Chain A
Amino acid sequence: MNRFGRPAVCWLSTVRFDRARDLWGETMARYAPFATLAAVAALGGALFVVNEVNNPANVPGVVGESPGGPAAPPVPPILAAPAAPNPAPAVEPPPAPEPPAVAEESYAGRTAGNEATVAIAVKDGRAVGYVCDGDEIEAWLEGTLEGDLLTLRGADGSTATVTGTSTAAATLGTVTVGGTKWPFSAARVDAPAGLYEGNASVRGVATRVGWIVTGDGEVTGVANSAGRRGPAPALDPADPYAVEVNGVPVAVSVIDGGDAVIRR
């Protein structure tokens, strides 16, 4: 407040804003709420376009589907052609399995509420998965990747399933373990992040460990000693082959989509 009983800010703004307003005219001032709406819509639309342009799934050469967003930019012709309405497949005889959208990739992520960690590895249309909560829930799964559709099932007698879609960048879907269903997202990861399996015989008891190393370096794992599950021994992503359980070295291997993880 100055000695005229009026805030200095107010005095400044009166002088400046009135000048500006006279220049802008009453129209701008009158339609300010519309202008705000338009600015929000324009910013949102621009960000959608930026996302579409930068989305690896939309880059020609990388397999993926272009989503028809409201502000979709011109789709590259390579992708536009198959996206056009094509009645031909409907009359075709039973279609052969679609070629996998991704040749070989590893994904790691979490369920939406961080209840469990999920790792997926795909290789030439075959896929394996591992879900665990770092405490006592875990499931190994195997399945297929047809097109971008991922379908995984646990061992016979288990109800664990994973369904989702895989692109070069991520796998997104739903995991069901022990009757509970969670949505999950798993980003593509590079070594040392990924899925690890460890085996050891501790005092005659076969112990199997699964670890998931997510892209941020966090390790979640569960150890299964003849059916009794508990938190896994620590795994250092920088040196994953140095794990020990009760002084017994654990044989650790990196799991890719071609490995068999369900014991029969």
Chain B
Amino acid sequence: MNVRTKARAGWRAEPLPEQRTEPPTRLDVDPHADSPTDPGRRAASSGPRGLLVAAAIGSLAAVGLGAYGRLHEPQFVAVSLAGFSSGTAVKAWLATVAFVLALVQMGTASAMYRRRVPPVVRPPAWVPVLHRWSGRIAVLVTVPVAVHCLYALGFQGGDTRVLLHSLLACFFYGVFVTKMLVLQQARGPRSALPLLGGALFTAMTAVWLSSAVWFFTTSGLTF
């Protein structure tokens, strides 16, 4: 079966007849298409077991990050990028880039899900491609920021802003791991992806507000 056919199949208004009659197997679904679950293909959803496993692994990731940040001794130093005044400025700008990409995520995701709510609007084919790649870039952009936070500063709860920031950032990566694992599964509750995506966007926004925006308001828009 040609990959291209499958990728397109995810965007058909109606599933192909043979796909509707056959029980959906793992190979019938293009999991990385990030597509809203096709009612015909996911009718025989296998229940939330896969989702629970993914959520458990995601929770472990979140708790693990928090525990590492809490237990290891903050080093205060970490490598920075050339051209910026400080490591904090680099982080604030990278986080801002990630937040803008998160907005793209939100826009593309809602376009992709519009086909489920009447009037059905099929998004252009580049929308899921943009969703996938903006998401990948967004999360990769956050990694240097997170490593700097964890390595140089650690998990801290000195005041509300710092505590919330630490908690939500760990939560963010936990949800990210969960969402990637859920995407990898052919079946699962239909509402899992939009819920996880919404949680990711919310956490991203809160983490950005509690760090980069705070930095820009206290230190000015410095590079």
Contact = CB atoms under 8 A, between A and B. Distances in A.
B55 interface: no
A18 interface: yes
B147 A48 contact: yes
Interface stretch (A50-58, A228-236, A256-264): A50-58
Contacts, number: 124
A231 B126 CA distance: 59
A33 B31 contact: yes
Given A33-B181, A51-B78, A68 B72 contact: yes
A239 B71 CA distance: 43
A174 B74 CA distance: 13
Interface in B173-216: 176-177, 180-181, 183-184
A17 B130 CA distance: 13
B143 interface: yes
Contacts of B30: 29-30
- Which 6 residue pairs of A and B lie closest in terms of their CB atoms, listed nearest first? A32-B32, A183-B158, A170-B76, A33-B183, A47-B147, A33-B180
Interface in B67-110: 68, 72-79, 85-86
B156 A34 contact: no
A199 interface: no
Interface string B122-146: 0011100100100110011001101
A67 B75 contact: yes
B113 interface: no
Nearest to B75: A55
Contact of B162 (A55, A113, A174, A216): A113
Interface in A1-39: 6-7, 9-10, 13-14, 17-18, 21-22, 26, 29-34, 36-37, 39
A182 interface: yes
B159 A113 contact: yes
A22 B126 contact: no
A21 to B, nearest CB: 5
Given A7-B126, A31-B184, A33-B180, A112 B77 contact: no
Given A37-B180, A51-B151, A113-B162, A67 B73 contact: yes
Given A13-B129, A14-B4, A70-B68, 6 more contacts: A7-B125, A17-B129, A30-B32, A33-B180, A43-B140, A69-B68
Contacts of A114: 218
A111 B158 CA distance: 9
Nearest to B180: A33
A111 B78 CA distance: 19
Nearest to A70: B68
B51 to A, nearest CB: 14
B153 interface: yes
Interface residues of B, number: 44
B77 A30 contact: no
Contacts of B184: 31, 33-34
A9 B126 contact: yes
Contacts of A165: 73
A176 to B, nearest CB: 12
B117 interface: no
B134 to A, nearest CB: 12
A10 B124 contact: yes
Contacts of B114: none
Given A14-B4, A30-B31, A182 B139 contact: no
A80 interface: no
Given A10-B124, A33-B181, A114-B218, A57 B79 contact: no
A178 interface: no
A147 to B, nearest CB: 13
Interface string A92-119: 0000000000000000000111100000
Nearest to B57: A37
A33 B161 CA distance: 32
Interface in A69-107: 69-70
A170 B77 contact: yes
B72 A67 contact: yes
A56 to B, nearest CB: 6
B3 interface: yes
A44 interface: yes
17 contacts: A7-B124, A7-B126, A9-B126, A13-B129, A14-B4, A18-B3, A33-B181, A34-B184, A37-B177, A40-B140, A47-B143, A48-B151, A56-B77, A57-B77, A67-B72, A169-B77, A172-B74
A73 to B, nearest CB: 13
- Counting chain B CB atoms within 10 Å of each CB, the highest count among A14, A44, A68, A185 belongs to A44
